Amino acid sequence: MIKFTFGFLLLMMNVLIVRAEQLYVNPQAGGDTNSGTKEQPLKTILEAAKRVNLNKDLEPTTIFLSEGVHLLTQTVIFNNDKYTLKNRLVIRADVMPDDMGWTPKKMPVIVTVAPLVPGVGGEEARGIQPEVSHVTIEGLRFTGSPDYSYVDGNNLSRSYPIWRDGKKLDDLLVTQCLFAGNVDVLPLHVGVIANGYGLVIDHCVFFNCKIPVVFWKNDGGSGSRSAMQYSLVYGGYFSGVWTTQSTKGEEFDFHHNIIANSSTVWIRERGSTRRYKASDCLFTDNTHLAGFGSGPLSGNDATSTDFLEMKNVQTSGTVKIEKDQSKRNYLQLAEGSAGSNLKAGLFKKNL
């Protein structure tokens, strides 16, 4: 009887392991009529999303992206809202930054070339759009979009690599991702913009993005805490972080971040009276520490930092960025840079 019970438990464990949905995407070797296994990968993230949205089994999902360039020719929407805190939807690199043998070349590169659609004050293109709770996006590199720039003085064309619209959604973790743009050639308007709750930016790098992250609106209810931690922002040509009236200071963790060589460290929604805390950070070589903004039509009005309680925040020092693409820390802190003690950047482990 004991042997039978033990054998039955092993069988059930194996069934549970098998039931975890896994899909592999390889833009070079894959095909969208393939099974989606590692041996027969799909070609596009869009096809992976279609299959995930149709699978109603209550199981976690992991989508593995190979190295190479993944073109998003239309917005990739995930809308199968079946996930839980433990049984998550994970969109990740096949090889992660902390894995042995990882190099920057192994990061899957996500390029949004989706058609522009009307937005607030212009047009916008959204890349990956998780309209579900309990999502992790990790180990990916996002670029700016080659043809999205200013239309005229009042109307913009914007690229949003990661966008979440639902104001009731919760738990979106973006970790160990690199966002790299260029104001003149590859503009990246906002790396991550998310309504709802529980947006956590962890160990990410934002290089020459207009705005790295916007903690956007929610429905005024309750949800998990949002956070920005162990992240590096360099060359933000509007701000380092953007918060709104919905971003409650007592529910927002901001620590071990570096914001350098940027226009403004912290932009708040115009009229906001929220107060925040920043701890163990480096803010250096920025034009302003704080400002107000209310969207694409607003200016960048410098304000005082009375709203921001800073603990162990350094405001001087030279941040150096590694530009050698052969180096493991490419587009991260170079050797001898200020802020190295904060451990901000893609790596969570010392290999």
- Whole-number pLDDT of residue 185: 86
Q: Which helix (H) or strand (E) holds 2?
A: helix 2-19
pLDDT in tens, 282-338: 999 999 999 887 644 345 566 788 899 999 999 999 999 999 999 999 999 999 999
Per-residue DSSP letter, 334: P
- Is this structure's pTM higher than 0.85? yes
Calpha distance 293→110 (Å, rounded)? 28
pLDDT in tens, 141-180: 999 988 666 666 667 788 899 999 999 999 999 999 999 9
Q: Is 53 helix (H, G, I), strand (E, B) or coil?
A: helix
* Helix, strand counts (H, E) of the chain: 2, 27
Calpha distance 202→93 (Å, rounded)? 16
Distances (CA, A) of 214 to 35, 45, 135, 316: 37, 24, 17, 25
- Whole-number pLDDT of residue 151: 63
Q: Give Cβ neighbours of residue 163 (< 8 Å, ≥ 6 apart).
A: 126, 127, 128, 129, 193, 194
∠ CA 16-21-23 to the nearest 5 degrees?
150
Burial category of 295 from C-beta neighbours within 10 Å (exposed 0-12, middle 13-18, buried 19 and up): exposed
- Whole-number pLDDT of residue 296: 43
- Whole-number pLDDT of residue 351: 61
Calpha distance 191→171 (Å, rounded)? 17
Residues with pLDDT less than 70, the chain = 1-19, 147-154, 294-302, 351
